[in-house]
Structure 1
């Protein structure tokens, strides 16, 4: 069972999302987040490494030193708890969107 019901920050959400399919390093996560969001969300290095510290403490991610780390960059991997937290956040966001559509009818693209 998840340790937290608190919503994730946008930075935490994208970090966990970028780790969903396997281990990765900070710079790649920054690049992938910018690409996924059409540059709407840009995670700076300071934010990224502060987030890593907190996500490690919460045990949502771990440092990973396995295969695929030939360039010696520090890799991070999503834990089972991290996956559970991410999936819970996606369910929460889906519920928010569902409620908005119920009240507003449709959501117009920008």
Structure 2
């Protein structure tokens, strides 16, 4: 990814795929779980994001199968996607640590 900051749905999609390939509904379910139901992806939104992430070489198709007469496509994170996810996770962690450190230094009652 070329921007310095990743949007939350993108981060969560990559995180959902970090432990192995998943089909679309599996990604939707995992994103919901990872975000404590704050982020709920619709299929159209997910597949648009997966197309974009595929074009950016952050995810790739990992096979397909027919289940109950419907095509199920699987996706997996690429090495570049894992690197991008790790970089963003480290950035978020650093920001959170800075915020928590400042909150610990905050005077009681919020008055300086």
User: TM-score band (shorter)?
Assistant: 0.7 to 0.9
Secondary structure in structure 1 of the residue aligned to 2:61: strand
Higher strand share: 2
Equivalence for 2:40: 42
Which of 14, 27, 30 is the equivalent residue of 1:16? Answer: 14
RMSD: 1.8
Equivalence for 1:93: 92
1:105 and 1:26 map into 2 onto residues whose CA distance is 41
Equivalence for 1:31: 29
Q: CA deviation at 1:36?
A: 2.1
Structure 1 segments of 4+ aligned residues over 4 angstroms from their partners: none
Q: Say which structure, 1 or 2, has more relative contact order (CA 8 Å, 6+ apart).
A: 1
Q: TM-score, normalised by structure 2?
A: 0.82
Q: CA deviation at 1:47?
A: 1.2
2:25 and 2:15 map into 1 onto residues whose CA distance is 15
Secondary structure in structure 1 of the residue aligned to 2:57: coil
Q: CA deviation at 1:5?
A: 4.7
Unaligned runs of 5+ in 1: none
Unaligned runs of 5+ in 2: 106-112
